[in-house]
Amino acid sequence: MARQSSFLKLEGTIGDVTFYKGANGSFARQKGGISKSRILNDPNFQRTRENLAEFAKAAAASQLLKNAFREITLRSKDLRTHNRLYALAMKVIKSDLVSPRGERNFALGDHNLINGFHFNVNSLWGTAVFVQHTMETTPTDLNVAFPEFIPGTKLARPMGASHARMFLVATALNLAEGTYETNLVSSVDIEINQQPLTGFQVSIPKIATAGTIQVYAIGVEYMQEVNGGMYP
């Protein structure tokens, strides 16, 4: 690395030399590194090629999950949601115990690893809803039921919120084609008060498409009632 001492400070690349500005001045360095052709063909880089192949699959799977659950990411996400989805996809790919290294894929991994993923680590389900729910599956639907609870006690209440609603998202992912189908169902509005709420449940139809992976998510959103209208 060389420091530029001329009163003309260059930025950019000329030939094999790159000129750039750093925190401590302007510098120049010669282009280096390993060529793409060598990485793709040299037997010494076989492990690198295997890693790159699985990194690409994780990127595709995480982007598919992000798109499939856009109804949630529009409502609630944090600055690292995409990165955490990528890390989750990589973890699922590495759990594929059938395919050889470099050919492991999301479809053959342990999908139970998805359980418990939060789209917003700054607002977890357990810090917003303080009542346990039960899930029941039928051949056509997923039903989520809550025991009797007092909304004003069991639901966190953001400033200004007067009501809340639960919502379910169902998606069917086709990893081979990179496509998905998604449904969203919202509950009735729940007034956040001290009146017990009984028989509360939310149901969503399953998307039973052949060759897909079904994934479900639950969320809660809050509204403010103003002159008879509900505002997020």
Distance CA 129, CA 153 (A): 9
pLDDT above 70 covers a percentage of the chain that reads 84
Q: Please report, for the chain, the start and end positions of each structural domain, with discontinuous segments joined by +.
A: 2-32, 35-123, 125-232
Instruction: Quick: pLDDT tens for 75-88.
Output: 888 899 999 999 99
Residue-level pLDDT at 23: 63
Residue ranges, the chain, pLDDT below 70: 1-16, 19-25, 27-35, 39-42
Asked if 188 and 164 count as a contact pair (C-beta separation under 8 A), the reply is no
Residue-level pLDDT at 44: 73
Angle in degrees, 0-180, between the axes of helices 46-68 and 81-94, rounded to the nearest 10: 120
Residue-level pLDDT at 30: 61
Residue-level pLDDT at 208: 86
Residue-level pLDDT at 117: 95
Residue-level pLDDT at 32: 61
pLDDT above 90 covers a percentage of the chain that reads 67
Distance CA 227, CA 136 (A): 38
C-alpha neighbours within 13 Å on the C-beta side of residue 14: 5
192: burial class by Cβ within 10 Å (0-12, 13-18, 19+)?
buried
What CATH code would you report for 125-232?
A: 2.60.40
Whole-structure pTM value: 0.77
Residue-level pLDDT at 85: 95
